[in-house]
Amino acid sequence: MNLHRESKKEHYDIVVIGSGLGGLTAAALLARSGKDVLVIERHDRAGGYAHSFRRPPYHFDSSVHLTSGCEPVAYPGGGAIHRVLEAAGVREQCEFLRVDPFCGAVFPGLHLAAPVGIEAFAQALRERFPRETGVDALLEVCRRIRDEAARAQDVLATADGVRIQKELPTLFRYRRATLAEVMNEFLHDEKLKAVFATLWPYLGLPPSKISFLYWSTMLAGFLTDGAFYCRGSFQNLANALVKAIRRDGGELLLKTSVRRIVVEDGRACGVLLESGQKIAASVVISNADAQQTIEELVGTQHFSASYGKRIQKMESSLSAFVVYLATNLPLHEGPYGHETFFYSSFDHDQNYANTCKGKIVWFTATIPTLVDSSLAPDGEHLMILTTLMAYDIGRSWRDAKLEYQEDLLAQAEKYFPGLRTSLRFVESASPRTMERYTRNTHGSVYGWDVAPDQVGPSRMNIQSPLAGLYFAGHWTEPGGGVYGVVLSGIRSAQQVLGFKTETALWEDLTRKGR
């Protein structure tokens, strides 16, 4: 790969390093506001974990399978992806297909399809666990957290401590809670708890370790904002943001590597490319790996010792092992939908512990052709088998990759009989693959873990201690996942432009978009 391309100019208002959805969101909104923006990306296409790839005649998403927030909703703060695309003037570039049920859960002796809608989801759980009486109350807490989280940025920017506790009581109460702790408050049946927590792999930690605040906003997002797949792959979402950036005078530089972030007089003031080209900028936004940004691109000497120690203490998320395949099985006739989680045990702590040891004991099967048949020829389906995975398994992934692929295929065969003999295409990606394409340390798929002590104010701030340097993406606030990184891009643009509230940002962009 040629990493020595150069930009058209040598001065921009904003330089964004990395073209994940967080960086692209920030760049598109800043370009719309009138800023001169340059995005620099090592890969040959934009999107980060949202990029897709072709193996003709098949078209695969590399990592993203589902998201929420793609249509306008009635409550404040919802529909973030729709709002970004609309503000950037490219909403018509993406067609989002509704997915309902938004997931399936398969445990020993139990199969549940999870429908969109709080009441529909609650009813599905009540029917399976009729003796449980706390489901509605727990979902009401999740809904309140969603509503308060939507207002939190504006409240925190304008209120004192007393008013914050009064206006955000649920966030304040559960700010340090794990999902397991809150489920224990409302639910009794251990199997129900396991089913309720089905989506934990979307954020990388089991119920006993994951932040309840962050997890509940994700669940409430799917239940109230809806679940969507982007027709033609999520690459189209990234491409729409790129189109907005270019239309508003910005530039995207692909196959290009940044050697370092230039610091002068205590301020980030541009970047130096591997080609040797020096590009000046008033602001640098890093959508790249946070620790690499601090230690390699900037240098720890430009940060306080306490900041460096804090970053070193933070725990990063697991990576993933993925098998991409095509099959001529009639999957549209089967019992499973767009995405199903298959667990061999109701004990998610044990499932996670095995994952950390490099063992495959659970996986998800995504069949995107059930909602978008254009991804494969007629009569064929795509299936993506995914499990979170430790980076270090005690041996080289080059040697282990085929073995893990065969293990995952064998486990999928139990639920999709005939899968092995029906394969038309198969390829896999290991944690090393994730690291190679994204440069996230150890192929981390969610940045820092979203544990209670690593979310909210405890996560890396959008604005770094170094003047002129900002962050976007899953290493900064609010956290990982598609919706989370889009929110990070919104907040990055807001802070760069100097708006105290997100509301002020949208009002300004609306005026400029007329």
Averaged pLDDT score across all residues of the chain = 94
Q: Compute the CA torsion angle 210, 215, 216, 222 (nearest 10 deg).
A: -160
Contact assessment for residue 384 and residue 365, using Cβ atoms and an 8 Å cutoff: yes
Among the residues of 339-444, which ranges form H helices? Answer: 348-356, 397-413, 419-422, 431-438
Angle of helix 118-128 versus helix 135-158 axis, rounded to 10: 150
Radius of gyration of the chain (CA): 22
Q: What is the pLDDT of residue 3?
A: 47
Q: What is the mean pLDDT of residues 55-84?
A: 90
pLDDT at 139 exceeding the cut of 50? yes
Residue-level pLDDT at 514: 59
DSSP string, 296-344: III-GGGS-HHHHHHHHHPPBPPEEEEEEEEE-S-GGGSS--SEEEEES
Q: Say if CB 478 and CB 502 are below 8 A apart.
A: no
Average pLDDT over residues 6-18: 93
Domains of the chain, first to last: 11-53+82-95+231-314+450-513 (3.50.50.60), 118-224 (1.10.405), 318-438 (3.30.519)
- d(C-alpha 400, C-alpha 96), whole Å: 37
List Cβ neighbours of 291 (8 Å cut-off, separation of 6 or more): 311, 312, 441
Contact 101, 115 (CB under 8 A): yes
- pTM of the prediction? 0.95
- Read off the pLDDT of residues 156-191 as tens digits, 9 standing for 90 and up: 766 666 777 888 899 989 999 999 999 999 999 999
Q: How far apart are CA 130 and CA 123, in angstroms?
A: 10
Q: Distance between CA 266 and CA 299 in Å, rounded?
A: 12
pLDDT of residue 459: 92
